[in-house]
Structure 1
């Protein structure tokens, strides 16, 4: 996998791992010796990040991370820097945050992994959604028409 695709894949592994509370997938985004900084909440390694997230995430009904713009700057054939702009939607309580990931990555054991990450929060918005109309499907994991043919 090329540098840019590999870096984007690492960012996606992290986002999907958080949203699904899939610790294995989340860990696959990082080098085992990665350093991670997330404000006052995390300043340490992957174990520290997982410990924080697994205390925080169960209090949320759901999270959805959107990694929108990823600028990748190769630093030689096996290293890169990346800056990712995105936002995360959280339910229970309802919250939307705009963030940036400032990452250093390397090619390691066949995939690109994050060796150093600083997460910044750019903005926060609370949301008080209106109730959905009756009968609108939510939280389903299959297509609504499966099994109807």
Structure 2
């Protein structure tokens, strides 16, 4: 591979990783713009009980997530196989979730995103996603039902939905 080809491959891999992280922020912060920017408009998503358009998954997920709760997603072990303007991407995820309806019920999920990425107009996004579940644990955690001020004490600020989360103030300041 030429130096120019190697550089293009590195740039593609970094753009794909950035898209995966954007998806996680979108889900965790209920950031609709970030979620939609992770997928192509015609993308598909097989996400447990949901199997259909990515736009439909986003609509359904945001309706539930905007009701409140806590969640955090992390991705790792990102393997990227490039083939021109397409890539097969496997990334492991760990997710912790508690809903507003059941704030003391914690769901711990581990699995993998099996994604087909496509580069269109120089931009990499998910064209098709299949979520593969490898682990689930559900348990009651009564302390999670406490108000943030009591649960976290002096550990402030706490995470919030977009645009109230501190990351959005930092991004706004960066953009001037």
TM-score (norm 1): 0.82
1:96 Cα shift? 1.1
Residues 99 and 56 from structure 1, CA distance in 2 versus in 1: closer, same or farther, beyond 3 angstroms? Answer: farther
1:55 Cα shift? 3.0
Residues 133 and 104 from structure 1, CA distance in 2 versus in 1: closer, same or farther, beyond 3 angstroms? Answer: closer
Unaligned stretches of 5+ residues in structure 1:
143-149
User: 1:102 — aligned with what?
Assistant: 114
Is the counterpart of residue 8 in structure 1 residue 20 in structure 2?
no
TM-score (norm 2): 0.70
1:59 Cα shift? 4.3
User: 2:86 — aligned with what?
Assistant: 79
Instruction: Kindly tell me the number of residue pairs found equivalent between the two proteins.
Output: 140
CA RMSD of aligned residues (A): 2.2
Is the counterpart of residue 135 in structure 1 residue 153 in structure 2?
yes
Contact 1:69/1:85 (8 A) holds in 2:
yes
1:129 Cα shift? 4.4
Residues 34 and 95 from structure 1, CA distance in 2 versus in 1: closer, same or farther, beyond 3 angstroms? Answer: same
1:124 Cα shift? 1.0
User: 1:27 — aligned with what?
Assistant: 36
Unaligned stretches of 5+ residues in structure 2:
1-9, 144-149, 160-164, 167-176
User: Segments of 4+ in structure 1 off by > 3 A?
Assistant: 127-136
Classify the secondary structure of the residue corresponding to 1:137: coil
Is the counterpart of residue 121 in structure 1 residue 119 in structure 2?
no
More relative contact order, 1 or 2 (CA 8 Å, 6+ apart): 1
User: 2:170 — aligned with what?
Assistant: none
Distance 1:57 1:82 in 2: 26
Distance 1:26 1:133 in 2: 29
User: 2:58 — aligned with what?
Assistant: 50
1:135 Cα shift? 3.4
